[in-house]
Amino acid sequence: MQYIYKKSLLSRALNIGKIILVCFILTSVISSSLNPLYNFDTFDIFNPDAMMNTNATIHPPMAGAYASGHYRNLFAELGYSNSTIQQKLENVWQQLFYGNDDDQRVYYPAGSDMAYIKDIGNGDVRSEGMSYGLMIAVQLNKQDEFNRLWKWARTYMYHDSGDHKGYFAWQCTTSGSVMDHNAASDGDEWFAMSLFFAAGRWGNGAGIYNYQTEAQGILHNMLHHGTINSVTNMFDATQKQVVFVPYANGATFTDPSYHLPAYYQLWSLWSKEDQQFWADTANTSRAFFKTAANPDTGLMPDYADFTGQPHNDGGHGDLRFDAWRVASNIGVDYSWFAADPWQKEQSDRLQSFFMKEGMKTYANQYSVSGSPLSSDHSTGLVAMNAVASLAATKSQAWKFVDALWHTPVPSGKWRYYDGMLYTLALLEVSGNFRIYAPPGEAQNNPQPIPTTPEATPTATVDKHTPKQTPTPASGSQIAVEAELASNSLSGGARAVACSACSGGQKITGIGKGGTLLFNSFKVDAAGDYTLSINYINADTSPRQISMSLNYGSPVTITFPGKGNANTIGTAQVKVHMQTGYNSIKFYNDSATGPDLDRIAIHP
């Protein structure tokens, strides 16, 4: 009896314990929206719903956002609600731009209509931070703050005359006095891109608020400044690479984090001049990354020779603070254009290295071979590594996204650099870092394109309601109208009526800045194809246009004259298509090309 009684007591105790445990779990789940739970395996705070997805495979899109109009929101894919994501962005904005002076804000109004971004640790204002502030403002639709920052930069940092005319001084005091007249090339690059986006988002104003005109001027100055008392162009014309500093020896090497192929790709479409240079520079930067990255660790140096080899100047042949940003440059480029499959390999390699080093403990400085050079763990590097997830293919990428989510907004003495990178990363990872085409230029294609390899919807060729560029079946030919709505037109290229054309329209105005871009021509298998181009050339003499496949090196195609506007000619060229989506761009920087009716490919 005593044994049975004790067993009964034990049974009751176990049942009571189960009830308490269930109550604890239910209470935790119910309160999870108010209080985060802990992952007892890693002691990380996490969203319970999000954690269910961290082992899921990740599929980078086969078409970039420029072609598809789809910007991935990795936080949403991980399980966070859109309202929570937007609130996080607003909280970051409020703290860094309108928080207290002591340890929160980096944005400081100056007078009635200007403001600056302050490097708190060094007590100065830098073109890097000002241009980041502009980009953050335009992406978050904050025009007043954008205009204030832009007027401060244009008033105090811009050189209206002298050896540096057309450039921005990289360093000023908070009162506007120039501390160093030299330019840092990345600042001018980000200024130009932010201004183009401002023109696209808000339209152009007058004077310095004609954003598009200001952006075009910066592009011109970067390439056409010339050499004046050792002040050089910002891009090496032979190497087609951005230089570290456009002055003396600083112009003989580069900084990998200054390479922004996604921006150059847009400038090849939007610049009034030098479009071919920008297209070539985008491809050069993509190739440069392959030589600059350590093949084992994926780490890149702060400074590099144009060959990609580390430039060992003051320890900058290692991964220091500049080089953090390369992961983001690659992630954004893949997100927008998906032009180089290597970027997926690189992002996986880089994240694998930092995973091995320890997600909560990896250092903020390394030799490119992987030896730690510090014991600090920095928010800015955590942020940039998360952006690499936009191109990554391994499930480990979710851990980097979640690490960014749970990293607090930077505060204190070093909040400037960490805070700017942190905010940019949140925008990029949440799908809020977007392309806004300026007036007169083609916006990214608004038609959705499959974003995972599994998504293969039925193609349609209806030019009035296009859903997807057709896919050629084996041994067959597929024709795509030049006026298809999913194509992009820029620089004066436009659709006009054409009674002789297959779809009743043609694209005219190709050349002298006018471009036609077939955004997403899909093939099931990589290989050699014949591309047939139906055209109209009413002249008796030939016309030429350049064709670039997948933003590669252009080929020149000659279109013999037909002598009238009602005769359709056909030109053919051999092309090598990649599996999945391909882009085909037609343009001529200096002369007028023929009108295009349609293109067709067949094996």
Catalytically active residues are: 128, 322
Q: What is the number of residues in the chain? A: 603
Residue 533 CA to residue 37 CA, distance in Å, equals: 60
235 residue type, one letter = F
Residue 203 CA to residue 197 CA, distance in Å, equals: 9
Kindly state the tokens that stand for 518.
Answer: 């077939």
**Burial 253-291, CB ≥16 within 10 A → b, else e:** bbbbbbbbbbbbbbbbbbbeebbbbbbbbbbbbbebbee
Residue 566 CA to residue 569 CA, distance in Å, equals: 10
**Burial 434-452, CB ≥16 within 10 A → b, else e:** bbbbbeebbebbebebbbe
Q: Which of 201, 208, 196, 104 is nearest to 155 (CA)?
A: 208
- Cβ–Cβ under 8 Å, residues 159 and 247: no
**Beta-sheet strands, E only, within 53-177:** 107-110, 114-119, 124-126, 171-172
Alpha helices in 293-357 (DSSP H): 326-337, 342-357
- Cβ–Cβ under 8 Å, residues 301 and 323: yes
- Cβ–Cβ under 8 Å, residues 253 and 303: yes
Residue 115 CA to residue 178 CA, distance in Å, equals: 16
Which of 288-294's residues contact partners 24+ apart within 8 Å by CB, and which partners? 288/241, 288/254, 288/256, 288/259, 289/256, 289/259, 289/326, 289/330, 289/342, 289/343, 289/346, 290/342, 290/346, 292/256, 292/326, 293/346, 293/349, 293/350, 294/368, 294/369, 294/370
